[in-house]
Chains A and B, each alone.
Chain A
Amino acid sequence: MRNPYILLIGMLILLVGCYPDIDYTSRGYTEKIIVEGIIESGKYPKIYLSLNVPLSESVDSTTIRDKVIRDAKVTVSDGNVKEILTSKWDVEHFPPYVYFGTEIKGQTGKTYHLKVEKGGYSVESQTTIPLDFQIDSVYIEPTSIDSLRTLSVAIKVNKDRKNAYRIYTKKSKDKRYIETPIVFNSDFSLDGLQKFTLSPLPNKNDSSFTEGKYFAIGDVVDIKVMAIDSTTTQFFKDLTMFSVIAGNISINEIKPLSSNIAEPGFGIWYGCAVQTKKIIIR
């Protein structure tokens, strides 16, 4: 070669400024039916269906609406009665499309079977609504700020049932129930009367955002406690952990989220025994 340096310089020019990026397209994306189904004691089942979205597509309302499943056949049965659910848009929820029942109402201790059929695929699951329980008492306690209180509930826990609890509160000015982001008794170690402090985590858009986890004197608060079984507990424990750590950086994450929906589906179909209580903060 007349001048070997020309080749070297040429190679360097090609390589300069070479910034690699993540190749999303070759990641082996497979379509999954994402199921979020709930049947509460005393209420009709509600199922939200969507498809997972490849990472190459952005997170926005259009993408979410495009991935909503609106043409599935959804069947719920309690062993005796089988009901095909009807559907409608539900703008209060994401994904904003719900399949709902009008015949089968949830009963504590009873098992419910779910079947979703879509485009030649079918996914199935079943869940049992835990046995009934009671909110024993509610505690209102002072804080360092005169006008604010903390709130606790006491629940009688039966260790043998292997139930955990999700707890929500709704202040009079809020439009929605806000969850205290911890699945209570998620390791099923507690037994007997157990007191649990409520720490709701409102968003910026919630009216009670400035109060944070406290409750203002004079406020009317709805407390909602949901008992869930061990399978559901594991799912929401994983999900809570996932969102708390934001699935983030460098802590080794080995466990995938658990699911009780078989492939090609993913998600949760769960029953819950619900108890509510309304109190005035004093």
Chain B
Amino acid sequence: MRYFLTFSMLLFCAIGFAQTKYQVLKDTTDSSSIVHKVQEIPEIEVSSKNPLSNIKSSSGGVFIDVPKLKKLPSILGDSDPFKALQYMGGISQASDASANIHVRGGENDQNLILLNGSPVENPTHILGLFSVFNPDLIDQMQYLKAGIPAEYGGRLSSVIDVKNFINPPFSTELSGNIGLIASRLSLKSHIGNRFSYYAAARASYIQYVVMPLLLKLGVDPQLTQNSFEYYDINAGFNYYFGTGTKLSAHYYKGQDMIQIAELSQFSFEGNSSRWGNHVLGMQLSHVFSNQFSMLHHLNFSGFDLNSTMNWLANDYRINTDKKAYNYKADFIYLAGNHNIKTGLETSFEKQLPITIRTGSNDSLQTNFRYNQFVSGAVYLRDEWETGPLLLNVGIRTSLYHKLQAYTSSDDYELSAIDKAKSFLGLEPRLSARLMLDDKSSVKLSAGKHYQYNNRVQLINFGLPIEIFVAASSVTRPSSLWHFSGGYFRSLYDNHWEISAEAYYKSFSNLLEYGGTLSDLFSVTAIEQLMYAGKGYAYGTELMLRKNFGKIAGWINYTLGWNYRQFDDINDGKRYLASNDRRHDVSAIVMYNITPRWNVSATFVYATGNRLNLPRSWYIIDDKVVLEFSGYNAFKMPDYHRLDVSLTYKLPQWQNIDSELNLSIYNLYNRANPFEVHYSTKTEENNYDYKIAMTYLTPILPSISWTFHLK
């Protein structure tokens, strides 16, 4: 038997907690902490997540059912709801072992990823194998790929909003996971009835456990010379003042360390990189009345990268650095069928685009100055439901002011590019949902988006070696018009759900790095090396999902086209974007064999990425020269992978619930390309070239033990 409960106001009573009134607003942290709490009772599934929510919501996004996603195949022992996002429609991983994700043809830097409201620059660990979000702490996730409401801005393509610790614990809870590759431990507790807190840590130890094991199994020793490690820590608290006021804070620090012994037999070796995010945030919310509430955010987010690589017998030391300070205030007012939200945000950001040093005593180094800018936005939106129609109308006005560039070098002369520059953007947003009957709906959305700072890829494999480029007099803000529409229907008493969506995106002022590595040393403003151009992406997404039963899961199929057009690239002719994916399939199946045994599997298939590769060679001036076809004319081999997972829930011992998990990543050992490189060699009467693909992730079995102590 199954019951679906909906609430508009909750009186929250629990042992150890003060009686607190909660307004049920779709947008507030407090409300969702209640609404999305899932409790499993034998034979009765009580879920706050209305199975019709995807049909009834106005936006083109979904609230992620976090408990359900945690049952997906745990990748290398870590069940990761954020990683599971990649099995949603419209979102795709860039390539094997890549941290990059692309939403509906957008670029990797166009995703606004939030942790309790604080932006996170790089959302994954170990080349995309794990997310930076500790799965024990995630209580709520929202993924918006279309119809993004006016309260979100600054990024063009999507919003992924992750909220940690919004469900306060009723007692002290200790959770953890011990695996072959990494382990984690988290503590959630409270002091008195007003103060609750959490602390969590994760760390990997691949080089101490996995690599020796692989060596014994006879794996290529070169592969085992590579090292990938990460750690992260989380801490935070909630304090309820008892008068409808709540103060919360969160802290996150993560670090990745990677060492690649050799990537190209010809010339690239000895890469050692460290990078990580740093996030600190505070939130203050207050419910004034049944109609009116407010929420204030104060955030700091930082990202830095230090990389060393040896290339053609030269050591290159690469640094990037970014720090952002952000304040945001949201006000929500309920009036009849209207849910009105307004607010403002402002931020100050300082970024070092990139520094590269090489030569003895760093004799050769780039001389880019720090970019500094302030940005702000005000927004107003109204979600209005009348009969079968739900309208979400909003306007966002974004302001951006680039401050004069900063440099520590006295002999540096500021150019026109470095001077202060301001931009103003009006971003209308509209989404509508019309219920055709009680089980089906159509949705339409349109919106304009601006993005004032970009990360432009310098090196096109998994490492996040990217250049920060802020809008300036020569690199205008990127913008997007996004139109989307779809049909949604539930079937068979809501057991099944189908949807078909179509989208069209028109990008302006996209950026590509237009120079070579050596060019970086010859200019002082990185903007001089950027090409700007347009982009178009369109496609159709089909989804079939089974929500309940012993077997549940879904299959998504996306048919998409993604083009770019730059005056300075490909003779100004339109070309396919590197992340063009003609076909993209993701399928998930979860099977509860018994209450204790659970098996699940995921399969992904995607058309290969586009890239530049030569098609012929010739010799001129005593050098082997490779001739290229059109820009991005080459298609990598298609990507596909099957992961499986088997979980056994162990009998409870003392107060410990635990389960054993066996997972196999890349079950049939598909060699999905990590990168393709080419190189030439010329010596007297001895010419050669080489084109080779590198593969990083073979079949990876893993076993882990997850426990939960209350």
Contact = CB atoms under 8 A, between A and B. Distances in A.
Given A241-B516, A250-B461, A266-B627, A205 B684 contact: yes
B457 A239 contact: no
Interface stretch (A47-55, A77-85, A217-225, A273-281): A47-55
Contact of A50 (B517, B619, B667, B679): B619
B263 to A, nearest CB: 7
A253 B512 CA distance: 10
A1 interface: no
B684 A239 contact: no
A257 B625 CA distance: 9
Given A15-B668, A246-B680, A249-B677, A94 B569 contact: no
- Interface majority SS on A: helix, strand, loop or mixed? loop
A123 to B, nearest CB: 14
A254 B512 contact: yes
Given A54-B616, A239-B625, A248 B459 contact: no
Nearest to A18: B670
Interface string B667-692: 11111010111111111110111010
Interface stretch (A21-29, A104-112, A124-132, A152-160): A21-29
A243 B615 contact: no
B617 A252 contact: no
B626 A247 contact: yes
Contact of A21 (B264, B615, B620, B693): B693
Contacts of B708: none
Interface stretch (B31-39, B475-483, B630-638): B630-638
B138 to A, nearest CB: 32
Contact of A249 (B263, B619, B689): B263
User: In this complex, which of A206, A244, A247, A257 has the most chain B Cβ atoms within 10 angstroms of its Cβ?
Assistant: A247
B676 A252 contact: no
B678 A18 contact: no
A202 B512 CA distance: 36
A241 B515 CA distance: 11
A243 B569 contact: no
B259 to A, nearest CB: 17
A94 B688 contact: no
Nearest to B670: A18
Nearest to A256: B628
B516 A251 contact: yes
Contacts of B460: 250, 252
Interface of B: 263-264, 266-268, 311-312, 457-461, 512-514, 516-518, 531, 568-569, 612-629, 631, 633-634, 637-638, 642, 667-671, 673, 675-685, 687-689, 691, 693, 695
Contacts of B642: 12, 15
B459 A251 contact: yes
A246 B693 CA distance: 16
B644 to A, nearest CB: 10
Interface string A117-149: 000000000000000000000000000000000
A262 B620 CA distance: 16
A98 interface: no
User: In this complex, which of A51, A254, A256 has the most chain B Cβ atoms within 10 angstroms of its Cβ?
Assistant: A254
Contact of B616 (A20, A53, A245): A53
A20 B680 contact: no
A173 interface: no
Contact of A239 (B623, B634, B677): B623
Contact of B633 (A16, A28, A50, A64): A28
Contacts of B457: 252
Nearest to A253: B612
20 contacts: A18-B670, A18-B671, A20-B637, A21-B693, A28-B633, A52-B617, A52-B618, A53-B618, A59-B687, A93-B622, A94-B622, A205-B683, A206-B684, A236-B621, A241-B518, A243-B623, A247-B614, A248-B677, A253-B516, A267-B620
Nearest to A38: B621
Given A27-B629, A246-B267, A266-B627, A22 B613 contact: yes
A12 B679 CA distance: 35
Contacts, number: 166
A94 B687 contact: yes
A196 interface: no
A59 B615 contact: no
Given A59-B617, A94-B622, A248-B678, 14 more contacts: A18-B670, A20-B638, A20-B671, A29-B616, A50-B619, A52-B616, A54-B616, A55-B617, A243-B680, A244-B518, A247-B680, A250-B677, A251-B458, A254-B569
Contacts of A205: 683-685
Contacts of A254: 512-514, 531, 568-569, 631
User: In this complex, which of B617, B621, B667, B670 has the most chain A Cβ atoms within 10 angstroms of its Cβ?
Assistant: B621
A39 to B, nearest CB: 15
Nearest to B617: A53
B151 to A, nearest CB: 35
User: In this complex, which of B619, B628, B637 has the most chain A Cβ atoms within 10 angstroms of its Cβ?
Assistant: B619
A101 interface: no
A22 B616 contact: no
B624 A59 contact: yes
Contacts of B676: 22
Contact of B693 (A12, A22, A61, A241): A22
B618 A246 contact: no
A178 to B, nearest CB: 10
Contacts of A247: 614, 626, 678-680
A114 interface: no
Nearest to A91: B685
Given A27-B615, A243-B682, A248-B678, A36 B516 contact: no
Contacts of A89: none
A267 B625 CA distance: 10
A51 B670 CA distance: 38
Given A250-B675, A252-B460, A257-B625, A59 B688 contact: yes
Contacts of A248: 264, 266-268, 311-312, 677-679
Interface string A204-227: 111000000000000000000000
